[in-house]
A and B are shown apart, each in its own frame.
Chain A
Amino acid sequence: MKTVYLCSQTMNGIYSALYDAWKRSRDEEAGIAFKDMVEHQLFCEYVEVKEEERKGVAVDRLIRNHLGERAYWDIYHALLSEDAGRADAVFRVLRDARTIKDSRKIMEHLTNPAVEKVFELKRRVANEAHLFVEFIRFRELEGGVLFSEIAPKNRVLTCFGDHFSDRFPLENWLIYDRTHKEVLLHRANMHWILMSGEELDDELTERVTDKEREFAHLWKGFFRAIAIAERTNPLCQRTHLPLRFRKDMLEFEAF
């Protein structure tokens, strides 16, 4: 009989489920599903996972040691997606990695359906993260904090924590994810942190300095001047910069 491990959609939940499933059922028929979206099937035993930090640490180490750093990041990125089958696919990848000669090469076995799925999810997340590295716009709030608000489909915030920390080491900045209500926060000269379950005070984030208004205006002016009228091509523009990003980009606001 197939055992299905039920967990919450948090990173900790998924890691705990991987831990339990790996420990008890790695050689049997098993799967992982999310508590809030499971479709019960016949001939399955459902087990609820007890979620603990230590399980996450153990799974983290397991993956890094046996599959290598590259595969670890592929799996991590895949788990940041919102796909209902992400935890199950990762479990199957871990299991199938045992069946091949060199487990560290598991992510190259793209003909394996589980690997293909994880690869696809990872690509989706990494691509979206990259677009936000390009399109995130900061505004300077009173007090000098740089603030940005985005609405990504996946939980991409941690993907570019290092990028912006390296880029703006002396700045205080924060990026707010409206979709998942998470905040990526960086204080000058410190490591970034991620905070979940945050609601933002709209009034506070609208209070910008006069200098901010001036540079926003300058940027909008530059953005209009740099286009060549004879080559106007909205279709091409939309391919590279899809409409969903534009509501958080000042150059697409009214002038």
Chain B
Amino acid sequence: MAADKIGIEMPLFEKLRILSDAAKYDVSCTSSGVDRKGDGTGIGNCHAAGICHSFAADGRCVSLLKILFTNECIFDCKYCINRSSNDVERASFTPDEVCTLTIEFYRRNYIEGLFLSSGILKSPNYTMELIYATIYKLRRTYHFQGYIHVKAIPGTDEELIRRIGFLADRMSVNLELPTAESLRLLAPHKTRRNILAPMRLVQNAMAENKQELALYRSAPRFVPAGQSTQMIIGATPENDYQILNVAESLYQKFGLKRVFYSAYVSVNADAALPVKYKEGTGGEPPLLREHRLYQADWLLRFYQFEAHELLDEKNPNFNVLLDPKCDWAIRHLEQFPVEVNKARYEMLLRVPGVGVKSALRIVKARRMGNVTFDDLKKMGVVLKRAVYFLTCNGKMMYSSVRIDEDYITRNLLSAGERLPDSVTGLSYRQLSLFDDQNFTSRSVESIVAG
């Protein structure tokens, strides 16, 4: 077993410290996607919306016990802290230790479930067998019905992934880097093909399972919360357009639930990588860029946008100063203003300041009577952005509003964007330095004009 490599003497506290520290760069900590009541024989249940249980010092939510099974690794991915050529403390859990930690944390309401990833011990199959043994025990011996998210290791046998899929709620294979070329450069032991293979496998197995469930309601469920993946942003020179296209095709062709973006935190000094992070000297994680990607990701998933509408070859990076939706609207002023009482739902979704909820409310409310700007405010429309793009009963909110690119850009900028705290933690100077490449000539002009 894994423990004999390390010596069983290492206290559990040390192991947990090392193996959670090593797992922290994985973004996904969601416990969403599946609703399951407890069956009364054990412990646990799941809520579709997911539940956070704490928030760490970096403001990220702690929902699952996020750990590596082991940080031993035979691979040498350049960006990874656990690569085989790094001299770091190594540790491995035993399946029993992981079970005990999960159950004892869970019953104290510390966590929503387990997120189990791993370095590669001996071989992908050997490691995944250990992971399978762990979650089998958790499900069958402890009757644990909370959330389990398992990372699949590229190169694992198909049959093993299938077995795990029937025990886990969510599976994910990390895409790591947006292009095959970058992957070759930074993760010499991984190929695009053996990352996509398990992804496809899970997708197909989920589709088969759906048919089984239609026939037999009590058939075991395969990865009921779907699969996700993550990409590292900023370690390689891909532009936002490439990244967004990759995300889009993952949603369309692989039916993924979520694509996560992880601003690269430089932990290794390597000629192939950006400079190592040291306070004040650059190398800060590109947080604004990560934020813009998430905004665009939402536009793809909930607002019926397509990647090529938001960015293109000539304009391959996001605007630093405007969010992608405002940016799109300003480039397509010929489609505005939109009449609230007549516009199609799809068009309402594209108006800056109108979200999915408020668009639905508008559609509902206008059946009862004419909607006015006052009503919009109550429905949660952000008028300081929406006024430039909407009319109610044929009238703009203020007669002084002009449909003019410079005018609107200037006003949107002075209205300000409420960036999440995760981005504003940095000073403006740091942001602009690091996100230089995202500057478009138009945004420069608008600053000058403002």
> A residues within 8 Å of B by Cβ?
110-111, 133-140, 146, 148, 164, 166-171, 189, 211, 215, 217-219, 221-237, 239-241, 249, 251
* A135:B421 contact, CB within 8 angstroms: no
Q: How far is the CA of A223 from the CA of B61 in the complex (A)?
A: 11
Q: How far is the CA of A128 from the CA of B226 in the complex (A)?
A: 30
23 contacts between A and B (CB under 8 A): A135-B54, A138-B107, A164-B109, A166-B45, A167-B38, A170-B43, A189-B40, A215-B104, A218-B13, A218-B105, A219-B105, A222-B17, A224-B57, A228-B24, A228-B25, A231-B59, A231-B287, A232-B425, A233-B422, A235-B425, A236-B422, A237-B55, A251-B54
Chain B CB count within 10 A is highest, among A164, A211, A219, for A219
* A225:B59 contact, CB within 8 angstroms: no
* A138:B24 contact, CB within 8 angstroms: no
What 1/0 flags go to B97-114 for Cβ under 8 Å of A? 000010011011110000
What 1/0 flags go to B184-201 for Cβ under 8 Å of A? 000000000000000000
Closest to A110 in B: B378
* B24:A226 contact, CB within 8 angstroms: yes
Partner of B109, one of A137, A189, A234: A137
* B20:A226 contact, CB within 8 angstroms: yes
Chain A CB count within 10 A is highest, among B42, B53, B277, for B53
Q: How far is the CA of A146 from the CA of B421 in the complex (A)?
A: 35
The B interface, classified by DSSP as helix, strand, loop or mixed, is: loop
Q: Chain B residues near A211: list those with CB within 8 A.
A: 104
B449 to chain A, nearest CB (A): 32
Q: Chain B residues near A251: list those with CB within 8 A.
A: 54
* B43:A168 contact, CB within 8 angstroms: yes
Q: How far is the CA of A152 from the CA of B165 in the complex (A)?
A: 40
Q: How far is the CA of A171 from the CA of B52 in the complex (A)?
A: 22
Q: Chain B residues near A229: list those with CB within 8 A.
A: 58
Q: How far is the CA of A231 from the CA of B21 in the complex (A)?
A: 14
Q: How far is the CA of A234 from the CA of B52 in the complex (A)?
A: 17
Q: Chain B residues near A235: list those with CB within 8 A.
A: 59, 421, 424-425
* B60:A148 contact, CB within 8 angstroms: no
Q: Chain A residues near B110: list those with CB within 8 A.
A: 137, 219
Q: Chain B residues near A146: list those with CB within 8 A.
A: 107-108
What 1/0 flags go to B33-57 for Cβ under 8 Å of A? 0000110111111000001111111
Q: Chain B residues near A234: list those with CB within 8 A.
A: 57, 59
Partner of A237, one of B16, B25, B44, B56: B56
B147 to chain A, nearest CB (A): 12
Interface residues on B, range: 35 or more
* B58:A218 contact, CB within 8 angstroms: no
* A237:B53 contact, CB within 8 angstroms: no
Q: Is B284 an interface residue (CB 8 A)?
A: yes
Q: How far is the CA of A11 from the CA of B343 in the complex (A)?
A: 47
* A232:B45 contact, CB within 8 angstroms: no
* B16:A218 contact, CB within 8 angstroms: yes
Partner of B57, one of A139, A167, A227: A227
Q: Chain B residues near A231: list those with CB within 8 A.
A: 58-60, 265, 285, 287, 422, 425
* B420:A236 contact, CB within 8 angstroms: yes
Q: Is B149 an interface residue (CB 8 A)?
A: no
* A167:B44 contact, CB within 8 angstroms: yes
Closest to B375 in A: A111
Q: Chain B residues near A169: list those with CB within 8 A.
A: 38, 40-41, 43
Q: Chain B residues near A217: list those with CB within 8 A.
A: 13
| A-B contact sample (8 more), CB < 8 A, given A138-B107, A231-B285 | A166-B37, A221-B16, A223-B62, A226-B24, A232-B425, A233-B59, A236-B421, A241-B55
* B109:A138 contact, CB within 8 angstroms: yes
Q: Chain B residues near A230: list those with CB within 8 A.
A: 265, 277, 284-285
Q: Chain B residues near A138: list those with CB within 8 A.
A: 107-109
Q: Is B403 an interface residue (CB 8 A)?
A: no
Q: How far is the CA of A215 from the CA of B103 in the complex (A)?
A: 11
* B425:A219 contact, CB within 8 angstroms: no
Q: How far is the CA of A241 from the CA of B57 in the complex (A)?
A: 11
* A223:B12 contact, CB within 8 angstroms: no
* B51:A226 contact, CB within 8 angstroms: no
Q: How far is the CA of A134 from the CA of B52 in the complex (A)?
A: 6
Answer whether A226 and B109 are a contact pair too, CB < 8 Å, given A134-B51, A236-B59, A237-B57.
no
Q: Chain B residues near A110: list those with CB within 8 A.
A: 378
Answer whether A233 and B421 are a contact pair too, CB < 8 Å, given A135-B53, A170-B42.
yes
* A240:B59 contact, CB within 8 angstroms: yes
Closest to B263 in A: A231
Q: Chain A residues near B66: list those with CB within 8 A.
A: 226
Q: How far is the CA of A222 from the CA of B41 in the complex (A)?
A: 29
Closest to B40 in A: A169
Q: How far is the CA of A222 from the CA of B17 in the complex (A)?
A: 6
B27 to chain A, nearest CB (A): 10
* B56:A167 contact, CB within 8 angstroms: no
Q: How far is the CA of A46 from the CA of B379 in the complex (A)?
A: 39
* B20:A222 contact, CB within 8 angstroms: yes
Q: Is B296 an interface residue (CB 8 A)?
A: no
Partner of B17, one of A133, A139, A221, A241: A221
Q: Chain B residues near A167: list those with CB within 8 A.
A: 38, 43-45
* B108:A228 contact, CB within 8 angstroms: no
* A223:B38 contact, CB within 8 angstroms: no
Q: How far is the CA of A78 from the CA of B107 in the complex (A)?
A: 30
Q: Is B307 an interface residue (CB 8 A)?
A: no
Q: How far is the CA of A217 from the CA of B13 in the complex (A)?
A: 8
Q: Is B65 an interface residue (CB 8 A)?
A: yes
A176 to chain B, nearest CB (A): 14
Residues from 393 to 431 in B contacting A, C-beta threshold 8 Å: 420-422, 424-425
* A225:B58 contact, CB within 8 angstroms: no
Q: How far is the CA of A135 from the CA of B62 in the complex (A)?
A: 11
